Structure 1
Amino acid sequence: MKKATVGILFGGNSAEYKISLKSAYSIITSLNTEKYEPVLIGITKEGSWKRYTGSADTIPEDTWNGQNCVPASILPDKSFHGLIEQRDGQLVCTHLDAVFPVLHGKNGEDGTIQGLLELSGIPYVGCNVLSSSIGMDKDISHHIVKDAGFRVPETVSITGKVSEEQLKKIGNGLGYPLFVKPANGGSSFGVTKVENSANLLAAVADAQKYDNKICIEEAIVGCEVGCSLLGKGDDLTVGEVDQIVLSHGFFRIHQESHPETDSENSTVRVPADVSSDIQKRIKETAKAIYSVLGCTGLARIDMFLTPDHEVVFNEINTMPGFTSYSRYPRMMKAAGISLSQVTDAAIQLALQTN
């Protein structure tokens, strides 16, 4: 049987560049090479595209961008259906049957890459343009999920310059503590828990380093729980529910010096230490939100569980992390589904959907 050629996109012009490198390495090393021929496509932090033909081992260490690279690009031309490479002064086309865009955050998880792949006619893993874009914007996704009848944190979004007086009014309206976040961001970059009005302006300034739209959110009392999903429509594979157990502060994944080995303030419990009835309710809520946001492919839904067992939507990750310590593969593994099986199912779904 002929192997399907799968482009693995990694890196990207995003604050989550290094996380993408680790996620991509996990995907590449889990790929069934009897079924798939990987084509490695790296995007530098500055946004340059490269076809990489060296060892995958250099990718998570960020030493890939060297002699085994040539400039490359995907054209928005459906008659081409592949990757253009510049080799020895000539343009070479490599056909791609599908693309796995293992990109996190801006310029990768927000509908931009998905739009390019739609124009190119190349099937791709993950959510479509609209659901990727909606999912990336915490303000917009909250509005849609709330309109569908689910509870979300009370949120005020701001853009541009805001006075201290305006911020004070927002803070007093929401109450303290509260969270300040970039509306379009992930992995806790630019997120601050604000205990009082004195720290609000500085928190907003920090978040504005990552996005010009900022969300100021009510702090939900309770623990964070998550649910991993794979599939489309009613045909969904659901991983075990996980639970974030904090010793102090708030959950800041990927912020530690050595996230593979430890976290300074949290552990991830899979399955979550809640009753089977509550786990079922969390899964059903996650599936409903997945549908409301128009998701197909895969996603991780993050929620809060309050002391009175109310489920509150937090955010959706339409291309969740696949690192050795990421939540999505852990939840799937706990349900008896290996990363290799997830990768295979996701690629097959892309080929069938597109």
Structure 2
Amino acid sequence: MHTIALIFGGRSSEHGISCVTAGGILRQIDRSRFDVVPIGVTSDGRFVEVTGDPEHWQITNGLAPHVPDSGDEIILQQSRLGQGKVELRVVRDGGRIEHLAHIDAVFPLLHGPYGEDGTIQGLFELWDVPYVGSGVLASAASMDKDFTKRILEGAGLNVARGVVVRASEPRAAVRERASSLTYPLFVKPARAGSSFGVTKVDAPEQLDAALDEAFRFDPKVLIEQGVEGREVECGVLQGENGQAPRTSLPGEVVIGEDLAFYDYESKYFGKGTVTIDIPAAIPEQYVAAVREVAARAFEALELEGLARVDVFVTGAGEVIVNEVNTMPGFTQISMFPVLWENMGISYADLISHLIDNALERGVGLR
């Protein structure tokens, strides 16, 4: 029996979705194999003791859950039991410190900055405790859409045309650089997920407002040329014993005319008309191309554990990488677990597989 810490919540704008993901994992993790210690991270970055009741961590009346500030603070430190063990202690009323658990591995369910970007992965490496997902460098590079695109382009993969701008740049200079692109444009924070801060821009006079919105989330922003194509997503799992990554059959996100694009509200709160087709109803040769591109992106970024690779498939069959998620949404209705369920891997078995992968891999340079 292994003891696994689930860490969720966090300081990013995706705090609530991270909590919903935790609810799904808590509901489905194999309790005959794993003892679970849930650890919440508050919006200001405190690690606190929280309930493990999955019903608490679900969307209710259109509101996502959050980690309360009132929880007893958890202290994490290397254990005297040796490498690969971390002791959790909890600070009770009056400052009394109690032992909580020794953990064998961590499943970080944090989305966005301060969780999916290599920061907490570095902490796990310092603790010498195994964890699910990619390492420090791969997580950091994949969180930053600018660096992701540079690496993928270097590997010969197609990405959307665009420019990178900073909040410190004169707005006139930003407009001038954006003028080289063909509308519609998409303005995106470089290091945010779940479509936070993303705006579709159909005309130059809309650009300033879109930049203002994106800069609310990140001082570094991408302005990308829109791609005409079908929005397709592919799940990837790390291959075993040095083998090539495993890819799922792709799924397709089909949005109705009442939506400009697949945004946060439509992803999680039912806004607009959205249909998820699994598997995607695209020609077989395009399916093979999407799976190949997803595997190549996984390898180019040196990812581990899992990823979801989002692409556009154009009418001519060109596959253009849009985004790579190293810790994709993991609720029971999220695309990633549903893609693997379509491949015959249940939600519970997928969780077990990822934890087993982390335990086998260990920590340190690799």
**Paired amino acid for 2:261:** F
- Gap change, CA 1:57 and 1:201, over 3 Å in 2: same
Q: Post-superposition shift, 1:57?
A: 1.8
**Paired amino acid for 1:177:** P
Match of 2:275 in 1: 267
Q: Post-superposition shift, 1:52?
A: 2.1
Give runs of aligned pairs for residues 81-100 of structure 1, distance below 5 A.
81-87=86-92, 89-92=96-99, 94-100=101-107
Match of 2:62 in 1: none
Give runs of aligned pairs for residues 41-120 of structure 1, distance below 5 A.
41-53=39-51, 55-60=53-58, 62=65, 65=68, 69-75=71-77, 81-87=86-92, 89-92=96-99, 94-120=101-127
Match of 1:4 in 2: 2
* CA distance in 1 between partners of 2:37 and 2:52 (Å): 11
Match of 1:236 among 224, 231, 245: 245
Identity of aligned residues (%): 35
Per-residue deviation, residues 44-83 of structure 1 (Å, max 9, x unmatched):
112111122452321235376387x321032378766232
Verify: 1:312 aligned to 2:320, yes or no: yes
| Most deviating of 150-159 and 166-175 | 166-175
**TM-score, structure 2 as length reference:** 0.90
Verify: 1:281 aligned to 2:283, yes or no: no
Q: Post-superposition shift, 1:91?
A: 4.1
The question of whether the paired residues in 1 share the 8 Å contact of 2:4 and 2:106 is answered with: yes
Match of 1:295 among 303, 312, 316: 303
Match of 1:336 in 2: 344
* CA distance in 1 between partners of 2:338 and 2:52 (Å): 29
SS of structure 2 residue aligned to 1:173: coil
| Most deviating of 263-272 and 138-147 | 263-272
Q: Post-superposition shift, 1:246?
A: 2.1
The question of whether the paired residues in 1 share the 8 Å contact of 2:37 and 2:52 is answered with: no
For the aligned residue pairs, the C-alpha RMSD in angstroms reads: 1.9
* CA distance in 2 between partners of 1:186 and 1:130 (Å): 18
* CA distance in 2 between partners of 1:71 and 1:96 (Å): 17
Match of 1:14 in 2: 12
SS of structure 2 residue aligned to 1:346: helix
**TM-score, structure 1 as length reference:** 0.93
Match of 1:194 among 201, 209, 220: 201
The question of whether the paired residues in 1 share the 8 Å contact of 2:332 and 2:347 is answered with: no
Q: Give aligned pairs, total.
A: 349
| 4+ residue segments displaced more than 4 Å | 76-80
Q: Post-superposition shift, 1:251?
A: 3.3
| Most deviating of 176-185 and 238-247 | 238-247
| Most deviating of 85-94 and 107-116 | 85-94
- Gap change, CA 1:325 and 1:54, over 3 Å in 2: closer
Match of 1:208 among 211, 215, 219: 215
Per-residue deviation, residues 30-55 of structure 1 (Å, max 9, x unmatched):
10000000000001112111122452
**Paired amino acid for 1:230:** L
Unaligned runs of 5+ in 2: 60-64
Unaligned runs of 5+ in 1: none
The question of whether the paired residues in 2 share the 8 Å contact of 1:76 and 1:117 is answered with: no
The question of whether the paired residues in 2 share the 8 Å contact of 1:86 and 1:92 is answered with: no
The question of whether the paired residues in 2 share the 8 Å contact of 1:167 and 1:200 is answered with: no
SS of structure 2 residue aligned to 1:104: coil
| Most deviating of 112-121 and 47-56 | 47-56
SS of structure 2 residue aligned to 1:211: coil
The question of whether the paired residues in 2 share the 8 Å contact of 1:231 and 1:346 is answered with: no
